[in-house]
Amino acid sequence: MALLSSPFAKKTNSVTQMMLWVVGATLPGLFVLMYFFGVGVLVNLVIACTTALVAEALILKLRNRPVMPILWDGSAFVTAWLLALALPPLLPWWMTVLGTAFAIVFAKHVYGGLGNNIFNPAMVGYVLLLISFPLEMTTWLPPQSLAENPVGAIEAVSIIFTGAASNETTIDMLKQGVDGYTMATPLDHIKTELAQGYRIPEAETAPIIKGLSGAGWQWVNLAFLAGGLVLMAKKVIGWQIPIAVLLGMGLIALPLFFANSDYYLFPMFHGFAGATMLGAFFIATDPVTASTTAKGRWIFGIGIGAITVLIRTFGGYPDAIAFAVLLMNMAVPMIDYYTKPRTYGHADKKRKASEGVK
Amino acid sequence: MSDLDNKTIVKNGLWDNNPALVQLLGLCPLLAVSNTFINGLGLGLATLLVLAGSNASVSLVRNFIPKDIRIPIFVMMIASFVTNIGLLMNAFTYDLYLTLGIFIPLIVTNCAIIGRAEAFASKNRFLPSLLDGVMQGLGFTAVLCTLGALREMIGQGTLFAGAEQLLGSWATSLEISFYLTDAKFLFAILPPGAFVALGVLIAVKNIIDSRAAEKTKQRTNNQNISGDVITNE
């Protein structure tokens, strides 16, 4: 028998490697997004990543930290990457810059940099933009197959940087579907229809609602699910949080659906609509801002899923992954405190109490 | 306590012990109302008048008030001043009165005011108390105006919008427009923007203070003089 000695872990799982895996695993989702919504998302990615690297470099300089090693660990890059994937494809460029810079400077470095931030930086940037520019942030294009005017690459770039396409098409025209009606995202559509007194079965007759959760969106979510499963298999992320998020959604959505399917969506719809899969697998699993204990991860994930469905159903916003993640980020210190595992060799409370009775 | 000289009182109110930046008192109106410069100035002036009046009158009656019930009495005195200011604003600056709304009567609950009555006016003579009230009020007003100006410029791209509400109709021309946009930066106008802006202001003050402290330290080291350092109250 060969004698083995430590260290046994030969491969170093550095921050950079993990970040690369995360970026790589989003690629299927990115391609599907581009297929259905044009190249806008790619332009957003470039803008956001450039901004993040510049902002990170500047603030590291300002804080007298070594710039290069921290810059190349890729954490700022991933923050920008995830934020850009969540943004509408034709968002004006300066909004992307603003959101990314705010995420890096205020959500990350004001708290002390990577590892010290309480809130998920990408989601802070997203929520900043969402509450500041609700109109622009909810302007999604219809899936290109349903669009009256499919958006080309040049038009997309032109709209992002100047607000209008070269051939006089405006974003309002691009938003129109083949039947001439302005299209929203499936979640937005359902919400608006319900507010106008329609019921779910009636709302679901629109061309944008197709399959599991709407044209385009189900494939986007399936692609992110696939990427997320790869991350799980590679053990870059734990399996508990994503499963808990989906479980949390089901816990709220299923009883509501059975209570009244005229007004509450089928749980599967929630699971494959909006940013669900991106949120569950890539955003909620951020190692810095998620709960770190075994039990805590379940509570954290279930909380995110439950809050998301509650806000989607009863709140003012069509999607709520970002709000749910930030709210649960706030609860993480308390969750960690109450779910601390028993240290080996120390008696737990129950046993101590019973021994005390003796 | 009572041997604070006037210069220290002025410096405390405006900088060293600023009610908003150092004591962090009265944050509710500070954050809620500072969405434009004029709103900030309006509420700041109202608070200033109440603070000066309550400090002055508390110091006049400080020896006649039973210690056990001094707080309710202070609150009643402050409330009567607030009522007066509210009525005056209702009469002379009606639009601003409507804009500020509930935050005018809520000046009563501004901890900065009861705090000054308790910490300063109940232990000092009339003139220092009046001066302290005015200076603390000015410090509060200055922060309100700075916050208001910042948030107004970032949020809606204007400065001095609505000046006519406070200064009369000639002041409409004071409004400066920096940029025109359909998409206002709502974050700066909403409460979260106020928290961030206040945090930034406090950070800036701390930077200035630490730079100044370093300079004095260097100077004292150079001159090798050990003198009595004036401490805060």
Low-confidence ranges of chain A (pLDDT < 70): 1-13, 145-150, 164-183, 211-212, 347-358
Distances (CA, A) of A29 to A22, A42, A220, A312: 12, 12, 6, 22
Do residues A89 and A40 make contact, with C-beta atoms less than 8 angstroms apart?
yes
**Across B134-158, average pLDDT:** 89
Q: Is the peptide bond before A7 cis (omega within 30 degrees of 0)?
A: yes
Distances (CA, A) of A255 to A119, A251, A266, A306: 31, 7, 10, 12
Q: Within a domain: residue B230? A: no
Question: How far, rounded to the nearest angstrom, does the alpha carbon of residue A113 sit from its chain's CA centroid?
Answer: 21
Mean pLDDT for all residues in chain B = 85
Distances (CA, A) of B70 to B75, B77, B114, B118: 9, 11, 11, 9
Task: Choose among B183, B188, B192: nearest Cβ to A135.
Answer: B183
Q: Within a domain: residue B47? A: yes
Q: Is the pTM of this model over 0.80?
A: yes
Cα A117 to Cα A79: distance, rounded to the nearest angstrom:
12
Q: Within a domain: residue B233? A: no
Cα A219 to Cα B213: distance, rounded to the nearest angstrom:
60
Whether B200 has its CB under 8 Å from any CB of chain A: the answer is no
In angstroms and rounded to an integer, the radius of gyration of the C-alpha atoms of chain A is 22
Q: What is the pLDDT of residues A80-111, one digit of tens each?
A: 999 999 998 888 899 999 999 999 999 999 88
- Say yes or no for a CB contact (<8 Å) between A134 and B186: yes
Cα B129 to Cα B135: distance, rounded to the nearest angstrom:
10
Do residues B3 and B231 make contact, with C-beta atoms less than 8 angstroms apart?
no
CA angle A249, A251, A256 (to 5 degrees): 95
Share of chain B above pLDDT 90, in %: 30
Distances (CA, A) of A208 to A188, A199, B144: 11, 16, 49
Q: What is the pLDDT of residues B178-193, one digit of tens each?
A: 776 666 788 888 888 8
Q: Within a domain: residue B100? A: yes
Sign of torsion over alpha carbons A34, A39, A44, A45? positive
Whether B195 has its CB under 8 Å from any CB of chain A: the answer is no
Q: Which DSSP string corresponds to B94-130?
A: HHHHHHHGGGTGGGGG-HHHHHHHHHTGGGS-HHHHH
Do residues B2 and B123 make contact, with C-beta atoms less than 8 angstroms apart?
yes
- Say yes or no for a CB contact (<8 Å) between A135 and B192: no
Number of H helices, E strands in chain B: 10, 2
Cβ-based contacts of B187 with chain A (< 8 Å): 128, 131-132
Cβ-based contacts of A131 with chain B (< 8 Å): 186-187, 190, 192
With cut-offs at 50, 70 and 90, classify the pLDDT of residue B233.
very low
Backbone angles phi, psi at B181, to 5 degrees: -155, 150
Burial code (b: 16+ CB inside 10 Å, e: under 16) for B167-195 equals beeeeeeeeeeeeeeeeebbbbbeebbbe
Do residues A153 and A125 make contact, with C-beta atoms less than 8 angstroms apart?
no
Sign of torsion over alpha carbons A105, A106, A110, A111? negative
**Does the structure's ipTM exceed the value 0.85?**
no
Cα A150 to Cα A141: distance, rounded to the nearest angstrom:
9
Q: What is the pLDDT of residues B20-49, one digit of tens each?
A: 888 888 888 888 888 888 889 999 999 999
Whether A112 has its CB under 8 Å from any CB of chain B: the answer is no
Cα A40 to Cα B37: distance, rounded to the nearest angstrom:
38
Domain that holds residue B151: 6-223
Question: What's the per-residue H, E or C state across A171-232?
Answer: HHHHCEECCCCECCCHHHHHHHHHHCCCCHHHHCCCCCCCCCCCCCHHHHHHHHHHHHHHHH
Cα A30 to Cα A26: distance, rounded to the nearest angstrom:
6
Token pair, residue B173, equals: 């021309």
Residues in chain A: 358
DSSP assignment, residue B67?
A: G
- Say yes or no for a CB contact (<8 Å) between B183 and A136: yes
Question: Is residue B208's pLDDT more than 80?
Answer: yes
- Say yes or no for a CB contact (<8 Å) between A131 and B192: yes
Whether B154 has its CB under 8 Å from any CB of chain A: the answer is no
pLDDT given for residue A55 in this prediction: 93
Looking at the DSSP assignment, which residues form a beta bridge with residue B176? B159
Whether A31 has its CB under 8 Å from any CB of chain B: the answer is no
**Across B99-114, average pLDDT:** 87
Any idea which residue has 């007004």 for tokens?
A263
Whether A111 has its CB under 8 Å from any CB of chain B: the answer is no
Residues in chain B: 233
Question: Is residue B16's pLDDT more than 90?
Answer: no
pLDDT given for residue B1 in this prediction: 47
pLDDT given for residue A72 in this prediction: 77
Token pair, residue A144, equals: 């290109």
How many other C-beta atoms can be found within 10 angstroms of the C-beta atom of residue B23?
A: 18
Do residues A175 and A88 make contact, with C-beta atoms less than 8 angstroms apart?
no
Cβ-based contacts of B179 with chain A (< 8 Å): none
CA angle A308, A310, A311 (to 5 degrees): 70
CA angle A154, A157, A160 (to 5 degrees): 145
Provide the angle, in degrees to the nearest 10, between the axes of the packed helices A294-314 and A240-259.
40
Q: How many CB pairs under 8 A join A and B?
A: 18
Q: Where are the beta strands (DSSP E) in B45-108?
A: none
The alpha carbon of residue B72 is apart from the nearest alpha carbon of chain A, in Å, by 38
- Say yes or no for a CB contact (<8 Å) between B185 and A132: yes
Q: Within a domain: residue B188? A: yes
Q: How many domains does chain B have?
A: 1
pLDDT given for residue A310 in this prediction: 93
Q: Where are the beta strands (DSSP E) in chain B?
A: 158-159, 176-177
Do residues B226 and B72 make contact, with C-beta atoms less than 8 angstroms apart?
no
- Single out the residue of A117, A116, A53 nearest to residue A80, CA to CA: A53
Identity of residue A341: P
Cα A46 to Cα A44: distance, rounded to the nearest angstrom:
5
- Say yes or no for a CB contact (<8 Å) between B190 and A106: no
